[in-house]
Amino acid sequence: MRQRLPRSIWTTFPVESLLRPCRPIAMRSSRFFLSTLKEAPSDAEIVSHQLMLRAGMIKRLAGGIYTWMPVGLRVVRKVEKIVREEMDRAGAIELSMPAVQPAELWQESGRWEKYGPELLRCKDRHQRDFVIGPTHEEVITDVVRREVKSYRQLPLHFYQVQVKFRDEIRPRFGIMRGREFVMKDGYSFHCSFEDLQREYRNMFDTYTRIFTRLGLKFRAVAADTGSIGGTGSHEFHVLADSGEDALAYCPDSSFAANVELAEALAPPGIRSAASAILQKVATPGRTRCEDVAALLDVPLTQTVKAIAIVVDRPLTGSGEFVLILLRGDHNLNEIKAQKVVGEFRFARDEEIVTALGCQPGYIGPVGVGSLRVVADRSVAAMSDFVCGANEADFHLTGVNFGRDVEEPAVVADLRNVVAGDPSPDGKGRLELCRGIEVGHIFQLRTKYAEALKCSFLDESGRSRTMEMGCYGIGVTRIVGAAIEQGHDERGIIFPAAIAPFEVCIVPMGYAKSEAVRDAADALYCELTRAGIDVLLDDRNERPGVMFAEMELIGVPHRVVVGERGLAQGKLEYRGRVDTEPQMLPVAALGRFLKERLCSG
RNA sequence: CGGGGAAUAGCUCAGCCUGGUAGAGCACUGCGUUCGGGACGCAGGGGCCGGAGGUUCGAAUCCUCUUUCCCCGACCA
């Protein structure tokens, strides 16, 4: 008689095992994958990049393109989780759009031409053009224009957490300015500008909640809208000295803005009358204002630097040579200047010689004839100043507008604000700090809706263009920014909310001592059951190795299980930033950790 | 894309100037000793010296080209 086969696999499959709760958050080092480095690869420049490589969070595959290794991915997932929870709470709806997008949409919005080489383009087998999405305004607007016809369906806010690709000119700082990165991008659609502004405030609050929950020190600042366009815009910056952005804020008021945007007010009062006579003085080899001021023993604020630019006129094919004047201690703000003179580039040395008959370093506004001179507000208020003489190795002193040189054709805000400048809201003085941009919210208005004809029928049956907002969070960048903000000589100090593990158990002699093994296993089970994200280091490594690695990857809470403590019924607890460990009764440790974790 | 630097073992680097059998530390494998702060000893494995051409009896080393990476400028989450 032939043996009977089971009717189906289900009859033998222990179905009840599926009903047991799955606890993927529990980890044993022996089954996990850690790969730490004592020395950082030499190409890592900033501390977060070095530590991410040393901690084995990321591995470089190509320039600006990284594999997220298990330790790193856990951090990314925790950031994503908080972002999703808060976006959902704020009423946004998650969807997921394709990374590969047809060129037609981008041609329709006009960005196929405008976006430039940062947009990665490719062709399919039929030679049709595609892009690897750097952002998703086109796709979401296409979705909404097909789906939404009535004011009754609005407002809507869709978001996704998705991989983006931007072919950055210069990827650097590891994951912070990668080419491939994870971003939360959300897009809202509204019947009216007022409703867009309501959602914009909603997102401002939501972002504030997100970055607070992430445990980061951050600041929201008014921002330039850049290439995405639109009107209102705020950036959220993680504060860090290594940040690429300079921020201006007023400690006495709510004013905060990216330095790109922060207005430098005109100096108060009227210009003093000329009191010095015009003199030409020899300043051999002194090409910088600092050197000239030192040589002549005048304050730097009494000097004027001239910056030669060329405003290209594509229609005529020629460029207009323009001189920009700034006070010696001020720096040009190119965004502001561009708003005043239009698209420009810095003049080449030979162009300067042709226009002024003088090498750069000694150029100035005196005797330049019909050349257009654009002065910063603070320059326009100066008298008896020092500037280049348009003759190599000479400067002029006692220069005055109206007497020695024509009043500038244009006076405008052209410079970066500096610490101590009056706040544009008139409520105090500005301070500067640096930040890493991790979030950006925009009121796009109708820019894309118009281009892509995304309209709806209002109450009166009239067709109207939708108002749009867009809201981005650099998920992977947040990981780098958090490390930039939290680290010491031993490694990463993650906020508990995004640490790869909340607690690590480090047993002393796990293989040898039964007492240690039992106590460590028991604690591991208890914490796991309590839903705590715990790593048990059961590798039986030397203690120094385990301590060093757990500190390097930034586990915020550590419990050491050793025979010494167990003999007294105690375990050792130490927070990542604590200076001293503390001994706690075995029975009390679970509750102690739960309370610690709840309080953040 | 412009300007600077670099490429030798998984990582950090020496060797190159002055051509002559490819090295160290960390990491890895085995054994032993260690075991509360990245241990020690012994024995191993691992490199077409980024690639291609050239000069030379002989090239990691000199020359040319090329690729890649890093740093400084214009972009952005």
C1' of B22 to CA of A45 (Å): 30
User: Residue A23's pLDDT is what?
Assistant: 52
A443 is written with which tokens?
């009121």
Question: Domain range holding A564?
Answer: 503-598
C1' of B32 to CA of A591 (Å): 44
Give strand letter and number of the nucleotide nearest A564 (CA to C1').
Answer: B36
* Residue A301 shares a structural domain with residue A403: yes
Q: What is the CATH number of the domain that holds A437?
A: 3.30.930.10
Q: Which bases of strand B sit closer than 7 A to a protein CB?
A: 1, 11-13, 25-27, 34-39, 68-77
Give strand letter and number of the nucleotide nearest A545 (CA to C1').
Answer: B38
* Residue A141 shares a structural domain with residue A227: yes
- Kindly state whether residue A387 falls inside one of the protein's structural domains: yes
Give strand letter and number of the nucleotide nearest A476 (CA to C1').
Answer: B77
- Kindly state whether residue A459 falls inside one of the protein's structural domains: yes
Give strand letter and number of the nucleotide nearest A182 (CA to C1').
Answer: B77
- Kindly state whether residue A55 falls inside one of the protein's structural domains: no
Distance from C-alpha of A66 to C-alpha of A445, rounded to nearest angstrom: 35
**pLDDT at residue A423 is higher than 70:** yes
* Residue A243 shares a structural domain with residue A368: no
C1' of B19 to CA of A528 (Å): 64
* Residue A253 shares a structural domain with residue A352: no
* Residue A240 shares a structural domain with residue A307: no
Q: Which residue's CA is nearest to the C1' of nucleotide B25? A: A39
C1' of B11 to CA of A54 (Å): 10
Distance from C-alpha of A368 to C-alpha of A358, rounded to nearest angstrom: 11
ipTM of the complex: 0.92
C1' of B27 to CA of A64 (Å): 26
For residues A200 and A441, the answer to whether their CB atoms sit within 8 Å is: yes
- Kindly state whether residue A35 falls inside one of the protein's structural domains: no
C1' of B28 to CA of A581 (Å): 34
pLDDT single digits (tens) A473-484: 999 999 999 999
* Residue A509 shares a structural domain with residue A402: no
For residues A34 and A549, the answer to whether their CB atoms sit within 8 Å is: yes
Q: Average pLDDT, stretch A373-387?
A: 93
CA A392 to chain centre: 43
pLDDT single digits (tens) A177-210: 999 999 999 999 999 999 999 999 999 999 999 9
C1' of B18 to CA of A329 (Å): 51
**Closest-CA residue to A572 (of A521, A507, A510, A515):** A507
What average pLDDT does the structure give for chain A? 90
* Residue A256 shares a structural domain with residue A127: yes
Provide CB contacts within 8 A for A239, sequence distance 6+: A217, A218, A219, A433, A434, A435, A485
**pLDDT at residue A421 is higher than 90:** yes
Three-state DSSP string of A123-151 = ECCCCCEEEECCCCHHHHHHHHHHHCCEH
* Residue A352 shares a structural domain with residue A287: yes
* Residue A223 shares a structural domain with residue A345: no
Peptide bond into A70 cis (omega under 30): no
Give strand letter and number of the nucleotide nearest A477 (CA to C1').
Answer: B77
Give strand letter and number of the nucleotide nearest A43 (CA to C1').
Answer: B70
- A6 DSSP assignment: P
A439 burial via Cβ count (<10 Å: 0-12, 13-18, 19+): buried
- Kindly state whether residue A22 falls inside one of the protein's structural domains: no
Other beta carbons within 10 angstroms of residue A281's beta carbon come to: 14
**pLDDT at residue A348 is higher than 80:** no
A243 is written with which tokens?
């940040």
Q: Average pLDDT, stretch A404-411?
A: 91
Count of domains in chain A? 3
Q: Which residue's CA is nearest to the C1' of nucleotide B10? A: A37
C1' of B43 to CA of A554 (Å): 37
- Kindly state whether residue A488 falls inside one of the protein's structural domains: no
Q: Average pLDDT, stretch A338-362?
A: 82
* Residue A321 shares a structural domain with residue A468: no
Q: What are the backbone dihedrals phi and psi of residue A372, each rounded to the nearest 5 degrees, phi first? A: -75, 130
* Residue A508 shares a structural domain with residue A592: yes
pLDDT single digits (tens) A149-180: 999 999 999 999 999 999 888 888 899 999 99
**pLDDT at residue A262 is higher than 60:** yes
- A211 DSSP assignment: H
Distance from C-alpha of A133 to C-alpha of A147, rounded to nearest angstrom: 21
User: Residue A221's pLDDT is what?
Assistant: 94
C1' of B35 to CA of A359 (Å): 70
C1' of B48 to CA of A42 (Å): 25
Give strand letter and number of the nucleotide nearest A548 (CA to C1').
Answer: B38
* Residue A286 shares a structural domain with residue A180: no
Q: What is the CATH number of the domain that holds A539?
A: 3.40.50.800
Give strand letter and number of the nucleotide nearest A335 (CA to C1').
Answer: B74
User: Residue A455's pLDDT is what?
Assistant: 97
Q: Which residue's CA is nearest to the C1' of nucleotide B73? A: A170
- Kindly state whether residue A33 falls inside one of the protein's structural domains: no
Other beta carbons within 10 angstroms of residue A120's beta carbon come to: 15
Distance from C-alpha of A570 to C-alpha of A585, rounded to nearest angstrom: 4
Q: What is the CATH number of the domain that holds A359?
A: 3.90.960.10
User: Residue A41's pLDDT is what?
Assistant: 86
Beta-bridged to residue A415, according to DSSP, are A332
User: Residue A290's pLDDT is what?
Assistant: 86
- Kindly state whether residue A100 falls inside one of the protein's structural domains: yes
